[in-house]
Amino acid sequence: MDFSLSAEQSQIRDMVAEFTDEEIKPRAAEIDENDEFPQDLVDQMADLGLMGMPFPEEYGGAGLDYHSYAIGLEEISRGSGGLGTVVAAHTSLAGNMLYEFGDEDQKQEYLTPLSRGEEIGAFALSEAGAGSDVPAMDTTAEKDGDEYVVSGGKLWISNGSVADTVTLFAKTDPDAGNKGISSFVVRPEEDDGFHVEGTEDKLGDKGCPTAELRFDEMRIPEDRLLGEEGRGFVHALKTLNGGRITIAARSIGLARAALEDALEYSQDREQFDQPISEFQTIQHKLADMDTKVQAAKMLMHRAADRKMRGEDYIKQAAQAKLYASEVSREVANEGIQIHGGYGYTKDFPAERYYRDAKLNEIYEGTSEVLRNTIANELLD
């Protein structure tokens, strides 16, 4: 097995790392403080081809492999967890729904502007009473002639208030359980009845608006149906499976940021007439932090490799997301500890990494659900 990056992968890493260091990191504290969607940074990422990394050039994408996409998202997240979520929700969820399940016309009309970064995408699945339990959703889409009438609401939708295209899940047959769920393309500016109720004031992940959406008899044309009726639940599971690789990438980026800052601080901070990095306790913390980050990377790239080969990767994606998300919190926590009292203040970004990292254990499959998934794969 070759663990070295190809020339193209190294080039992508270096390019995104440079952009992160020069453009994102200097703005990260401001983004966290103001919690405003950084449209200018998104526009710059679009110019660099970072808003459609894994999609073919024929649909406006960069045509990169999934390793390169994960590496790019890792570097973006190293600068800002919120911006990492913006890209992941836009690409891995909304964009991938269109790429995998849209017909050619839908790809040309809706995926292409997303891949180019001309528009922003969102993925509307969760509801107040339907988080991990997807079939419990209440949103319905009733066929009426050549249209669907959508009623209901969604919650915790990343990019929901700024999206130009939303991939939406609703019940077309409320009595059929998960086989009665279908998926659609929604255009907020065009579809009467689409309402943004507000955005959440979150612990972290600032800069990525997390919206509550409401649909009041929203009419959408029948050609916005993705695939066939009743396939929405399958679409959601397959899309989230791929998305877990990129949440692993976000987790690794945040863990790396926490480790790099802790390493630098430990060499600058002196106690008892020597840098604290000279104390074995601190050295052991740093050693454990780095080991966990490297292990998480291996799990992420293993899942990406299986996805690229067309092999089943349900267990591998779940393991990568589970381990990397918990590592991001653990490493961020140790980063605060190494900073001591300063780590508990906003004078240093250590506390921000912790707040951003916690989300990784919750969205796109909680740690509890992922353990169930892994166990089911083992038992099968």
Q: Confirm whether 330 is a catalytic residue.
A: no
**Cα–Cα distance between 150 and 141 in angstroms, integer?**
4
**Cα–Cα distance between 337 and 131 in angstroms, integer?**
33
φ/ψ (deg, to 5) at 63: 70, 30
**Cα–Cα distance between 177 and 134 in angstroms, integer?**
10
Which residue spans within 77-209 are E strands per DSSP? Answer: 121-124, 140-144, 147-158, 165-171, 181-186, 194-199
**Cα–Cα distance between 34 and 41 in angstroms, integer?**
15
CA torsion, ordered 150, 164, 79, 54, to nearest 10 deg: 90
Q: With H, G, I as helix, E, B as strand and everything else as coil, classify residue 331.
A: helix
CB 124 within 8 A of CB 168: yes
Q: Closest Cα partner for 180 from 214, 215, 218, 142?
A: 142
Structure tokens at 239: 């899309």
CB 245 within 8 A of CB 300: yes
**Cα–Cα distance between 194 and 127 in angstroms, integer?**
15
**How many other CB atoms sit within 10 Å of the CB of residue 98?**
25
DSSP-H helix ranges across 172-313: 232-268, 280-309
The one-letter amino acid code at 160 reads: G
Half-sphere exposure of 18 (CA within 13 A, CB side): 7
Residues near 14 by beta carbon (within 8 Å), at least 6 away in sequence: none
Q: Closest Cα partner for 181 from 232, 226, 133, 134?
A: 232
Catalytic residue among 74, 127, 361, 364: 364
The one-letter amino acid code at 150 reads: V
- By annotation, the residues acting in catalysis are 364
